[in-house]
């Protein structure tokens, strides 16, 4: 029998305080990292030029990406995560279960970041001299912006925004089939997948604009939160999509309009 739990919400302030502090800490670490001598390790630009193993670059990127995910994505997901966490507060091991929920939520984003970094690194090598494709390397970043803009206009984007609302956090447990821990992990993964489906195109912009751009992190985080938490979120998605398409077109003709970053 499937049961939906909607217990009281008395511990919500503490939940928001703890995860809000985690978000603030993530922003703090990002500021420190991006102003440190190791900031260059988080992107593809220095691969093959600093004599460090590829795995060091990958580890540095994943650390930076995890911090970016917490800083940019977690705020808009707090209502849905709080809704999922409500029944867990009555469990003896509630703190561990809530940790499992957060870990499940972050996992799809870490996988997306890993695939994005590997793809970005491959493109970097493919379009680098002396390759015959090197002449087209300046097309990579505006192409990513164009892809992001086009996805903003699709029905799939709108469906994911609707499914990523705070009501998506209802925790369903089939007690005859799975433990509470398994259900919590699956719910976290489900919320993470919905969030990736809603926001992957905008997060893809970080590969075009540069992982070091704290200003873009903040701007995109605000846009993604507004898309999912405001009544006018779907209209905002259309406006952002159109703006990105126009920007990509201008970028091709004038690289100086490319947000201060060149992909290569």
> Is residue 262 one of the residues assigned to a domain?
no
- Number of folded domains in the chain? 1
> Is residue 135 one of the residues assigned to a domain?
yes
> Is residue 76 one of the residues assigned to a domain?
yes
Q: How far apart are the first and last CA of the chain?
A: 55
Predicted local distance difference test score (pLDDT) of residue 176? 43
Cβ 214 vs Cβ 30: under 8 Å? yes
Predicted local distance difference test score (pLDDT) of residue 39? 72
> Is residue 157 one of the residues assigned to a domain?
yes
Tokens (6 digits) for 69: 């995910």
> Is residue 239 one of the residues assigned to a domain?
yes
Predicted local distance difference test score (pLDDT) of residue 219? 93
Q: Which of 155, 183, 191 is nearest to 77 (CA)?
A: 191
> Is residue 201 one of the residues assigned to a domain?
yes
CA–CA dist 248, 264 (Å, integer): 16
Predicted local distance difference test score (pLDDT) of residue 5? 37
Q: Which of 216, 214, 221, 207 is nearest to 32 (CA)?
A: 214
Which is it for the CA torsion 209, 214, 215, 221, positive or negative?
Answer: positive
How do the pLDDT tens digits run along the chain, 264 residues long? Answer: 344 333 444 477 888 898 999 999 999 999 998 888 777 766 655 555 566 777 888 888 898 899 999 999 999 999 888 888 877 766 667 778 888 999 999 999 999 999 988 888 888 778 777 777 777 777 888 889 999 999 999 999 999 988 877 665 555 554 444 577 788 898 899 999 999 999 999 998 888 887 768 888 999 999 999 998 888 888 999 999 999 999 998 887 765 555 555 444
140-151, pLDDT tens digit by residue?
A: 888 899 999 999
192-225, pLDDT tens digit by residue?
A: 999 999 999 999 888 888 776 888 899 999 999 9
Q: Domain range for residue 202?
A: 9-257
**Phi/psi zone of residue 259: left (φ > 0), alpha (ψ -120 to 50 degrees), beta?**
left
Predicted local distance difference test score (pLDDT) of residue 257? 57
Predicted local distance difference test score (pLDDT) of residue 91? 67
> Is residue 2 one of the residues assigned to a domain?
no
Q: Which of 192, 244, 203, 212 is nearest to 74 (CA)?
A: 192
> Is residue 53 one of the residues assigned to a domain?
yes
């Amino acid at each position: 029998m499937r049961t939906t739990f909607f217990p009281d919400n008395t511990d919500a302030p503490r939940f928001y305080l703890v995860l809000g502090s985690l978000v603030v800490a993530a922003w703090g670490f990002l500021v420190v990292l991006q102003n440190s001598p190791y900031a260059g390790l988080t992107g593809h630009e220095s691969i093959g030029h600093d004599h460090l193993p590829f795995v060091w670059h990958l580890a540095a990127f994943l650390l930076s990406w995890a911090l970016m995910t917490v800083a940019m994505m977690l705020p808009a997901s707090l209502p849905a995560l709080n809704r999922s966490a409500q029944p867990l507060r009555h469990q003896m091991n509630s703190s561990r279960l809530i940790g499992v929920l957060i870990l499940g939520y972050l996992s799809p984003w870490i996988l997306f970041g890993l695939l994005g970094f590997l793809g970005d690194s491959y493109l970097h090598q493919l379009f680098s001299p002396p390759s015959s494709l090197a002449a087209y390397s300046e097309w990579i970043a505006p192409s990513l912006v164009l892809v992001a803009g086009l996805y903003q206009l699709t029905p799939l984007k709108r469906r994911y925004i609707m499914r990523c609302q705070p009501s998506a956090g209802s925790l369903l447990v089939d007690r005859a089939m799975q433990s509470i821990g398994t259900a919590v992990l699956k719910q976290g993964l489900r919320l993470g997948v919905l969030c990736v489906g809603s926001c992957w195109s905008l997060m893809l912009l970080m590969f075009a604009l540069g992982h070091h751009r704290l200003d873009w992190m903040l701007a995109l985080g605000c846009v993604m939160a507004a898309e999912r938490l405001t009544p006018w979120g779907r209209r905002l998605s259309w406006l952002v999509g159109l703006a990105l398409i126009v920007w990509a077109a201008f970028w091709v003709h004038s690289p100086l309009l490319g947000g201060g970053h060149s992909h290569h």
